[in-house]
A and B are shown apart, each in its own frame.
Chain A
Amino acid sequence: MNQAALAARRAFAPNWAARGALIALAIYSVYAMGQLDITWDRLATGFGEAGRFLARMWPPNFERWGLLVEGMLESIQIAILASALGILLSLPLGLMAARNLSPAILSAPTRAFIALCRSLHYVIVAILFVKAIGFGALAGVAALTIASMGFIAKLFAEAIEEISMKQVEAIRATGAGLGAVLLYGVLPQVASRFTGFCLYQLDSNLRNSTLVGIVGAGGIGGTLFAAFKRFDYDFVAAILISIIALIFLAEVISGRIRAAMR
């Protein structure tokens, strides 16, 4: 059998597109590493630094626990306030954005507004608020409220769009006003999902509230950033451990609540 016939009888056609993509990806990696100035030299020194860095983190230093607790409490307060405000504002926004209950003239701009809230990273929003209204927890609350609206108003709207309109129709047929239609026709169908979203948002606000302090918007993040700047790496370790413990605790608690609600 000659070569051509052998080629024709091959079981698998070589996937040139995939191979090409892989080669392109490899070439890109080399190119991008050059652009970002990532070299073996740098990595080698980096690994040496990392060793020293880790050594200086150990043992974690909890001596300034007063500062630590203060920052953590402020983060929790920011998370609670931002969640409460975000949820309260998201209820009407979600309703206005739901295409099955709101006219397009209302839902389209609301959806655009929600998308805008979601598209800017909350740290960027936080830094803008810090510049506009000053350092402190208020900027953090404002930034996380915006972020919360971007996420849960969207989820609310999606949940409302999935309800059965038959139940709404039946309530409308009784002569109920708008408020009663929402309370009886819409709310029962979405209440449990809404609660889930709210818990989820509280959870993620708690994570994010430990960070906004890096740009001066209150909470433990400010303490962390200051410790980094002063090379207090053992205090950094203490703060990081506390943050991870808080997030872990919040995750466990909200998991329990979610399980209990089922």
Chain B
Amino acid sequence: MAAQTIGTRGLVLRGLAKEYTPGKPVLRGIDLAFSPDGITAIIGPSGTGKSTLIRCINRLVEPTAGEILLHGEDLAKLRGRALRLARRRIGMVFQEYNLVERLSVMENVLSGRLGYVPLWRAWLRKYPEQDVARAFDLLDAVGLPEQATRRADALSGGQRQRVGIARALMQQPELLLADEPTSSLDPKTAVEVMELLTRLTAAAGVPVIVNIHNVDLARRFAQRIIGMSGGAVVFDGPPEALESHHLQQIYGGEDWL
């Protein structure tokens, strides 16, 4: 591709801005470059635009301005089919799992292939055999080997998030976005889910951008931490460099430290 020669590998954001209501910016011109491997954690207080930032990358939220360059291709300019083809290269894991509750676990995992298979196959559930085999392998990998035919709303929170991860990896993504993947889980399950996410994405060689409000989890699993406050990046560096004055700057105040 011609576009690929212009930019570098990985994801680059240039001047990314978003206003839901004019004059009230949620993102104030974000410039970031993400390396094509490893886990990047975005931390920051609620309502600071972390979620908006992540949703702008796969255009679930329309950015107001800026460029989103994935391997040199500007996703912000894509429309229709081109946008869908870009989305299928980007997996996403959600805070509240966002499984289709009335479908089975297997259907949820296979829905990761919806960007690939023709509509009639999706409708009749006639997925290519290698897709079904991969889905079973992924269910094994996330530790839900016997749950394929259960309905998604019969699962516990931790199990649902594992299905969510399997669905995202089913896309064979080049990038994985995770929007507060552990916020709805208890502390033990949260660690287990983060370990799973780390292990599987490392094995698949997929870079991860994760929004997380738990600073300890961020330090433990990420190679790079980005601190946001008021719609702008205020810290960017390895976990070791994150000190309490940075956290004060990100979250404000000091009593909680």
Do the beta carbons of A174 and B60 come within 8 Å of each other? no
Chain A 173-213 interface 0/1 with B at a Cβ cutoff of 8 Å (1 = within)? 11111011101110011011000000000000000000000
Interface residues, chain B, with chain A CB atoms under 8 Å away:
58, 60, 81, 84-92, 94, 96, 98-103, 107, 111-116, 119, 122-123, 164, 167, 171
The closest CB in chain A to the CB of B92 belongs to A173
Q: Does A112 contact B (CB under 8 A)?
A: no
Within 8 Å by CB of A173, from B60, B96, B99, B113, lies B60
Within 8 Å by CB of A177, from B58, B99, B119, lies B119
Chain A 61-91 interface 0/1 with B at a Cβ cutoff of 8 Å (1 = within)? 0000000000000000000000000000000
Do the beta carbons of A166 and B60 come within 8 Å of each other? no
Nearest CB of chain A from residue B201's CB, rounded to whole Å: 16
Nearest CB of chain B from residue A253's CB, rounded to whole Å: 26
**With A170-B94, A171-B114, A183-B122 in contact, is A177–B84 under 8 Å at CB?**
yes
The closest CB in chain B to the CB of A171 belongs to B111
On chain A, the residues within 8 Å of B98 by CB distance are 166-167, 169-170
Expressed in whole angstroms, the Cα–Cα distance for A180 and B102 within the complex equals: 16
**Number of interchain pairs (Cβ within 8 Å):** 88
Do the beta carbons of A176 and B114 come within 8 Å of each other? yes
Q: Does A99 contact B (CB under 8 A)?
A: no
Q: Does A172 contact B (CB under 8 A)?
A: yes
Expressed in whole angstroms, the Cα–Cα distance for A181 and B167 within the complex equals: 15
Within 8 Å by CB of B86, from A172, A175, A183, A185, lies A175
On chain B, the residues within 8 Å of A169 by CB distance are 60, 94, 98
Expressed in whole angstroms, the Cα–Cα distance for A167 and B92 within the complex equals: 12
Do the beta carbons of B87 and A180 come within 8 Å of each other? no
**With A171-B111, A175-B84 in contact, is A188–B167 under 8 Å at CB?**
no
Within 8 Å by CB of A174, from B88, B99, B102, B103, lies B88
**With A174-B88, A174-B114, A175-B86 in contact, is A166–B102 under 8 Å at CB?**
no
Within 8 Å by CB of B115, from A167, A174, A179, A183, lies A174
The closest CB in chain A to the CB of B121 belongs to A180
Do the beta carbons of A188 and B119 come within 8 Å of each other? no
Nearest CB of chain A from residue B154's CB, rounded to whole Å: 14
Nearest CB of chain A from residue B100's CB, rounded to whole Å: 5
Residue with the highest number of chain B CB atoms closer than 10 Å, among A184, A189, A191, A192: A184
Do the beta carbons of B111 and A173 come within 8 Å of each other? no
Expressed in whole angstroms, the Cα–Cα distance for A228 and B81 within the complex equals: 63
Do the beta carbons of B100 and A175 come within 8 Å of each other? no
Expressed in whole angstroms, the Cα–Cα distance for A71 and B92 within the complex equals: 59
What are 13 A-B residue pairs whose CB atoms fall within 8 Å in the complex? A166-B96, A167-B98, A167-B100, A169-B94, A170-B164, A173-B90, A174-B112, A174-B115, A175-B87, A175-B88, A177-B114, A179-B119, A184-B107
On chain A, the residues within 8 Å of B114 by CB distance are 171, 174-177, 180-181, 184
Nearest CB of chain B from residue A28's CB, rounded to whole Å: 52
Within 8 Å by CB of B100, from A173, A179, A185, lies A185
